[in-house]
Structure 1
């Protein structure tokens, strides 16, 4: 008996000695980017990709996208009921959730947060301001929401999942926008530890978070001036992950070398497009805008700059793969430049080879891709092939660029769009609806398209697809915005980094990322 017991003990001991040990994990991850926070880390105001993404790592809403999918799941909500007329929602919230300072989440805090966002009325406020007529706390754990219209269920949940709907702590949050280097108290995996604008942001795990703890205790987001510096940093091991933005050529070269890993995701971030201020002469003449649409060669951009791999031509502001997508610009203008059609329109608008249209095309060189000057040069070449357009390329850093188009000092410029939520409405309303496109300063107003955009969010799927097609056809005819291409997502990381998820939500989830260390 004793001999048998000794044998069993020996076997168990051998198992623990010989079994592979669970890998150790670094307690800090460094993420490098050429992006920057453009305004604040206050959910009521932030409306740039990085600012919003950091907020999405420090806070959460009643609903959220399940990682790796486009599926909406309950988050701070535990259940909900919808009235028969679809205009009143009762949402029961978690009772175990706390803000960073330990204050329990209540329905009153949710309502106060939404009212603050709507009252302060910053750029993204429309996301819930156009949805909610009124909200009230009918108990400490139940929010009653009165909608402005009987919106479709998934559409409502999508909007309540956006960062502008994240609860903030009424005890510590002022009724003003919180400016850098501070933020507000939210409920999420991380909290802000320090922020030196232009250099880095440091996040640490939130000890009062009710959910699963982050894989890595500390995350440092370090800012780099350009793609070359960022590539050097990741190749030298200075950063664990490089995300937004390396050039397509850099990514291809890194993939070929094999020393680092490249993680890819679905191609809707961003979609790229040209904006034309329709109040500026001669672009207030639709024929001029249509001539430009005839001349753009999307395939040349995709094949030259993106090597036919990292992007695809886009002929609608609604991305490929989204509900109701229709290649309206392709149907209206073709998939190749039509110089003859463009010249005819330019002649009708009063231009000729001896009296060419002289225009500026503006771009910002770093925000979207380091290849932006090459893209602008291709578009210049496309337009000048007509023999009736002369293009002067102009560029500015993002802060200056943003001011220029907001102050309407420029007429034609290139932009990119990252979705606020995963619905086709988010690709038509912010651009074409006169009540929502003020941020863009395109000055496009069309009562017919406004009506159709308002109708489509109330319609069953089949009817909605038809209405979305009408919207896209009208937008192609009027051409205030010209869709160009849509890109994939890519993160470059050290080989020991795990947990990177790039999906349709466009949320870069720091809390899932970790780096294994040996020993």
Structure 2
């Protein structure tokens, strides 16, 4: 920061002192700077079992210590609040906590802190309930949770799941203090959550969340949903880290923030799925449509550089076990697509693309590509989410429809399982058995091979054609170091620090 910029920043800071409360103060530059600042969209909630967005996950990763965390290098789980998570059959799991854990209010972190919080998630129907019932499949819900002693509890699942320990880093599985569990005053808890992690929440409001850590810099997460404002604030020295980059600055990001930017591969994917009840969509037609879509052009156009073109069914942020380049038919090849359509007998009538209203812009872009490449009539059809589900359940859908999926934990099987559960009507015993084998394998590593075989079979049949996965962008100021990210938490606030 040059002297002019620093002087301007100090003047602005002085004015802010006159009009803002102390919690909003920020003095830039120099060793006396009291805190680091991060721009992000405002979180929907900070109640851990109800966290549903990237900002909530980022803050939760700093305020709570879950049973496991994720290694940013390998993507695998690392024991955190748990000393061990073991099972003789991958179905009945014993969780032992590290001794001495405390919440920020001084109360102990016990086995009941976890089982009580999970029971609350189920009882209140929070966002994380699906993780317990549909992903982990805890037997009978709360009935599958048994406290053995203060530091030990048992979790019984409906079927073997080798990835269960990796799942436990999700906010749905975080603990809550006994006093909060007794009071059930979730509104008050959401305003000032009490966690067991490295940071405590000093203040939380619509404009910012202030996180304090003994012996370290305070981190302020500012509510800045506009990517352009975040980016500009880092350029001006008014913000330390931006968690979003506007589309029109993507190409210049490397020049403007050389060595100070990052693209984080995602774990969520978007697909076009085919209704199995419509015999017109043979594998040849599915492959044809896939080759006709220029994924990169749409990502760099209407999607504003926020996606990575798919080359597999497992998104790039899902490690370990993910392989690049598995989907040959995902490569854009308009000549091959046109020839393949002719070989398949052509297409008569209108091809309808069904989607929810929020996907309208990019679906129209896909439709236009298909019109030009294959010279067929393609028409998008937009419905509300509930209307689309009803149309699928009643098998009224007569064309490809949009499916969004997210891997719940870092394993290929976690990315593939939701595809079998999409409303395509697709059934294949071989693929289902392979995914079951992957989930119930003796170890996560042993589950990689059956998951890869399942992925190959799915790409051959292509009941869903992968389009792209979302990714995240980060840029940061020259005074910051330790910017570390991983797909299941996002930015690791506890690793941020200032350069010496």
Shorter-normalised TM-score: what interval?
0.7 to 0.9
1:323 has 2:318 as partner: no
2:119 to 115, 120, 144: 115
1:55 has 2:60 as partner: yes
Q: Report what 2:175 is aligned to.
A: 167
How far does residue 297 in structure 1 lie from its aligned partner after superposition?
A: 2.2
Question: Following the alignment from structure 1 to structure 2, what is the Cα–Cα distance between the partners of residues 284 and 123?
Answer: 35
Q: Report what 2:427 is aligned to.
A: 446
Question: Following the alignment from structure 1 to structure 2, what is the Cα–Cα distance between the partners of residues 238 and 405?
Answer: 44
The 5-angstrom pairing of residues 76-475 of structure 1 reads 76-79=81-84, 81-83=86-88, 85-129=89-133, 130-133=136-139, 134-152=144-162, 155-173=163-181, 178=186, 182=191, 184-196=193-205, 199-205=206-212, 213=214, 215-225=216-226, 227-247=227-247, 249-258=248-257, 262-264=260-262, 268-276=265-273, 278=275, 291-301=288-298, 311=308, 313-319=310-316, 322-323=320-321, 325=323, 327-330=325-328, 336-337=333-334, 338-342=337-341, 347=346, 351-352=347-348, 355-359=349-353, 364=358, 378-384=365-371, 385-392=373-380, 419-432=407-420, 434=421, 442=423, 444-446=425-427, 448=429, 449-460=431-442, 464-475=447-458
| Cα distance, 1:500–1:445 mapped onto 2, change above 3 Å | same
Contact conserved, 1:120 with 1:176, CA < 8 A, in 2? no
| Cα distance, 1:333–1:234 mapped onto 2, change above 3 Å | closer
Q: Any stretches of 5+ residues in structure 1 without a counterpart? A: 1-22, 207-212, 366-371, 395-399
Contact conserved, 1:316 with 1:327, CA < 8 A, in 2? no
Q: Any stretches of 5+ residues in structure 2 without a counterpart? A: 1-29
Give the number of the structure whose alpha-carbon radius of gyration is greater: 1
Question: Following the alignment from structure 2 to structure 1, what is the Cα–Cα distance between the partners of residues 180 and 458?
Answer: 45
How far does residue 202 in structure 1 lie from its aligned partner after superposition?
A: 0.8
Length, aligned pairs only? 453
Q: Give 3-state SS (helix, strand or coil) of 1:24's partner.
A: coil
Question: Following the alignment from structure 1 to structure 2, what is the Cα–Cα distance between the partners of residues 238 and 90?
Answer: 47
Question: Following the alignment from structure 2 to structure 1, what is the Cα–Cα distance between the partners of residues 108 and 391?
Answer: 45
How far does residue 158 in structure 1 lie from its aligned partner after superposition?
A: 0.4
How far does residue 228 in structure 1 lie from its aligned partner after superposition?
A: 2.9
How far does residue 223 in structure 1 lie from its aligned partner after superposition?
A: 1.9
How far does residue 171 in structure 1 lie from its aligned partner after superposition?
A: 1.7
How far does residue 496 in structure 1 lie from its aligned partner after superposition?
A: 0.7
Question: Following the alignment from structure 2 to structure 1, what is the Cα–Cα distance between the partners of residues 35 and 110?
Answer: 33
| Cα distance, 1:405–1:59 mapped onto 2, change above 3 Å | farther
Q: Give 3-state SS (helix, strand or coil) of 1:252's partner.
A: coil
Q: Report what 2:46 is aligned to.
A: 41
Q: Report what 2:494 is aligned to.
A: 511
